[in-house]
Chain A
Amino acid sequence: MSATQQYLLLLGLALGILGAVLSLYGLARSVGPTRQEPGKDVPASAGVLSRAPVWGRYHARYYGYALLFLAFDMEMAYMYPWAVVFKEVGLVALLDMGVFLAILFLGLLYGWSQGALRRQ
């Protein structure tokens, strides 16, 4: 199977699951209508609809980690091609990536020392 065919197959699989779920919804709907009652559709809280938008209830206190995460996530993009050719290139590959990872790791240590690894 060529790569295009494989991806088409995966796309078809995704669409097939979507279709299966939709037909399940249709089956559930065919059981019959439900009674409309006031207040039934209020999200679980104190029983009344929150006046302010609820996203104000959560403070993302992990932003220090999130910034470090960006650096490490970018690094991973380089790791995959590197991992495939690692054995072929040998020691040079290990040193190349070692320097790169060492700089990142120093960044992690610096962030740690500055209190980035703390729930703010």
Chain B
Amino acid sequence: MTVAIVLLTLLVGAWLLAVIEAWLTTGRLRPVAPLLAGLSHLGRESILARKPDRLFFETAPVLLLVVAVLGAAVLPLTPDLVIADLATGALFLNAVLAYVLVSLIMAGWGPNGAYAMIGGWRFLGQLIAYSMLIVMPITATAMRAESLLNSVIVESQAGLWNIVYQPLGFVLFFIAAMALAFRSPFDLPTAPGELAGGVDAEYTGVRLTVLRLARLVMLITLSAATTVFFLGGWQGPLLPPWAWSLIKTLAVAVSMLLVGYYLPRIREADLLGWCWKFGIPLALLNILIVGLLILVVP
């Protein structure tokens, strides 16, 4: 039952975000368009490149979708509505999200196309940049909660949400989450207009549908993670817990889309430089500040 509710929420969320994304970029609100596009992809041919690495090519879209859903599976929507509240939930989320890289490298390598290949390897550079900024802020939230259970991390924010307790961590995590979901301005592996679609370039038809769905679900998963780790999860006045989870997750996802809409794409060299010269020192500072706060303020 829980599994069905979560999967349905993810599907509806993916549809909603596709509508909002198109609304932002084209200025027209067309609620049925993503459904029609998905259906029409079923009728289109799905071309296999001439000299592919077949295993990699086929695995990449499925792996990305599996990764996105497994990530969502350990995040609690309400105290009860979570597929698996693992004792190592925060760590599991990190472990799962590492496979985004594997999937994108596979998608880049598989079709033996130059643009795809460049997109895939670029994402490896992107991972080296954002990865520490995902794990270090999560560690700081675990320090406060004294647990890696995601539900306990939410409960630890009952008095004060982590966005107030550790604002630095929130900002870093928000930026890194956008880079991890390869949304604009960090859409280096796909880079429309520069790489002819990058890792998307050789995917057509139903495989492309799966890839795009996976990318949308990834955005939801990361927004939900931001909600759980920094925005107090299901907590809030008046409304029931599930409503708060949905509102916060949607707000984070839309703000990510908005930020991406107004910023130009970043260069890989700049991303690496800024993340290592500013991001990682700031993330370490965040851990230190949180550590001192925990010791000083009982």
Contact = CB atoms under 8 A, between A and B. Distances in A.
Interface in A80-103: 80, 83-88, 90-91, 94, 97-98, 101
Nearest to B125: A62
For A27, A43, A72, A87, the residue with the greatest tally of chain B CB atoms inside 10 Å of its CB is A43
Given A17-B62, A66-B128, A86 B83 contact: no
Contacts of B66: 14, 17-18
Contact of B146 (A27, A41, A79, A84): A84
Contact of B69 (A13, A90, A105): A13
Interface string B73-107: 11000000001111100110000000000000000
A65 B284 contact: no
A119 B276 contact: no
A21 B211 CA distance: 11
A65 B129 contact: yes
Interface string B188-229: 000000001100011001110110000000000000000000
A28 B205 contact: yes
For A3, A28, A42, A90, the residue with the greatest tally of chain B CB atoms inside 10 Å of its CB is A28
Given A28-B42, A41-B47, A119-B269, A112 B117 contact: no
A31 B287 CA distance: 55
A102 to B, nearest CB: 9
B142 interface: yes
Contact of B276 (A40, A65, A73, A79): A65
A57 B114 contact: yes
Interface in A1-40: 1, 3, 6-7, 9-10, 13-14, 17-18, 21, 24-25, 27-28, 31, 34, 40
Contacts of A72: 132, 280
B228 to A, nearest CB: 16
Interface in B121-180: 121-122, 124-125, 128-129, 131-132, 135-136, 139-140, 142-143, 146-148
B48 interface: yes
Given A43-B111, A43-B116, A108 B206 contact: no
Contacts of B114: 43-45, 50, 54, 57
Given A44-B113, A86-B294, A119-B268, A3 B86 contact: yes
Contacts of A91: 295
A60 B84 contact: no
Nearest to A15: B66
Interface of B: 3, 41-43, 45-51, 61-62, 65-66, 69-70, 73-74, 83-87, 90-91, 109, 111-118, 121-122, 124-125, 128-129, 131-132, 135-136, 139-140, 142-143, 146-148, 196-197, 201-202, 205-207, 209-210, 268-269, 272-273, 276-277, 280-281, 284, 287-288, 291-292, 294-295
Given A28-B41, A62-B124, A87-B143, 8 more contacts: A14-B66, A17-B65, A43-B111, A44-B113, A44-B202, A58-B118, A72-B132, A108-B281
